[in-house]
Amino acid sequence: MKAVIISAYGKADQLYLADIDVPKVAEDEVLVAVEATSINPIDWKARQGMLQPVYNWSFPVVLGWDLAGTIVQVGPAVKKFKVGDDVFARPDNYKDGKKGTYAEYAVVKEDKLALKPANLSFEEAAGIPLAGLTAYQVIKDQLKIRAGEKVLIQGGAGGVGSFAVQLAKYFGAYVATTASPQNEVFLKEIGADEVIDYHTTKITDVLHDYDAVFDTVNEIDAGISILKPNGRLVTIAGNPSEKQKSGSQSGEKQTK
Ligand SMILES: NC(=O)c1ccc[n+]([C@@H]2O[C@H](COP(=O)([O-])OP(=O)(O)OC[C@H]3O[C@@H](n4cnc5c(N)ncnc54)[C@H](OP(=O)(O)O)[C@@H]3O)[C@@H](O)[C@H]2O)c1
C-alpha cells in the first residue's frame, strides 16, 4: 500500500510517499481503507523527534492519529462491525510506529471504532477523534464541569478548544474563551458566552473567581490567577511546575 512515511526526524521535507506492507489484522482489530486523516500538533511534534522519550520507534515511521474510512477486513473476534461499515477512529498507539493513519490502510481495535454518522463526510469525521476525545476527557472526566460553573477555555478556536467550548456549554457552564478577534463570531455560534481577544486583553484584567480553566496554550500561571479557591486547571500544552501543581501560588487550587 501507499503511505506517507518518515525515515528520519526533521522538518516537513522528511515526509515522503512510499510503498509499505499492509498491516496485519489481529483478532480484535479491523482493517480500514482510509478515506481521510487529519493533522494535529502531535504529528509535527513527533516528526521533529520531540516524542522520542515516549515512543521508541525504529524507522520508517508512519505518522497520523485520526482516520475515517470503510472497513475492508475484520478479525475473528470482532463482533460489532462488519466489512463495508463506514467508521471513524483514533487508533491505539502501536509500539512499532508503523501503523499510523497517513496510509491507504490502517488497523483499529474494535473498542476504538465508531460508525461514521451518514451526515458527516469522511473529511469532517477524520477531524474529530483525537481533538474531540481530548476535549471530552478533560471537560467531563478531569475538570468534571458541572452546570452553573464558570469555565475558561484558553485557545477556544483551536482543534481541542472548539470541542471544549461546545462540551462545557453542553454541561451547563458559563463559558469564557480566549481567541483572535476574527474567531469571535464562530466561538459565539458554538456556545461561548464571552470571547477575550488575547492580543489586546489580559485574562487577569477581566476574569476572576473561575471554577475551572482548560489551558490549551501553555499559559498556566495566568489561568491559575483567575481561579477561585478550590478551582481546577488542566493543561494539555505545558508541563506544570511543582509549584503550580501544588497550588502553592494560590492556596487550594488544583493543577493537572
Ligand atoms: N489536537 C489534539 O488532539 C491534542 C491532544 C493533546 C494535546 N494537544 C496539545 O494542545 C495544544 C493545542 O492543540 P490544538 O490541536 O487545539 O491546536 P490548534 O488547532 O493548532 O489550535 C491552536 C489555537 O491556539 C490559539 N492560540 C495560540 N496562542 C494563543 C494564546 N496565547 N491565547 C489563546 N489562544 C491562542 C489559536 O487561536 P486563534 O486563531 O484564535 O489565535 C489557534 O487557533 C497543542 O500544544 C497540542 O500539542 C492537542
Task: Give residue limits of the domains in the chain.
Answer: 2-126, 130-255
Give CA torsion, residues 50, 52, 55, 59, to 10 deg.
100
Residue closest by Cα to atom 3 of ligand 1 = 131
Atom of ligand 1 nearest to the CA of 182: 40
* pLDDT of 151 strictly over 70: yes
Burial of 20 (0-12, 13-18, 19+ CB in 10 A): middle
User: Which residues, 6+ apart, have CB-to-CB distance to 66 below 8 Å?
Assistant: 37, 38, 40, 88, 89, 90, 101, 126, 127, 128, 129, 130
User: Which bin fits 164, alpha (ψ -120 to 50), beta or left (φ > 0)?
Assistant: alpha
Task: Using the structure block, give the residue that is written with the C-alpha cell 526533521.
Answer: 10
Task: Decide if 73 contacts 1 (C-beta within 8 A).
Answer: no
The average confidence (pLDDT) of the chain is 95
Domain 2-126 listed as CATH 3.20.20.10: no
The alpha carbon of 1 and the centre of ligand 1 are apart by a number of angstroms equal to 33
Mean pLDDT of 188-215: 98
The alpha carbon of 252 and the centre of ligand 1 are apart by a number of angstroms equal to 27
* In the chain, % of residues over pLDDT 70: 96
Q: What pLDDT is attached to residue 207? A: 98
User: Do you know the residue count of the chain?
Assistant: 256
CATH class for the domain made up of 130-255? alpha beta
CA distance 56 to 64: 16
Is-cis flag, bond preceding 129, omega within 30? no
* pLDDT of 140 strictly over 90: yes
Sequential DSSP letters for 15-62: -EEEE-PPPPPPTTEEEEEEEE----HHHHHHHTTTTTTT----SSEE
pLDDT digits (tens, 9 = 90+) for 65-115: 999 999 999 999 999 999 999 999 999 999 999 999 999 999 999 999 999
pLDDT digits (tens, 9 = 90+) for 205-237: 999 999 999 999 999 999 999 999 999 999 999
Please report, as a single letter, which amino acid is at residue 127. Answer: G
Helix (H) or strand (E) holding 84: none
Mean pLDDT of 234-256: 76
Residue closest by Cα to atom 20 of ligand 1 = 158
CA distance 176 to 159: 17
The alpha carbon of 154 and the centre of ligand 1 are apart by a number of angstroms equal to 9
The alpha carbon of 24 and the centre of ligand 1 are apart by a number of angstroms equal to 34
Tell me the pTM: 0.95
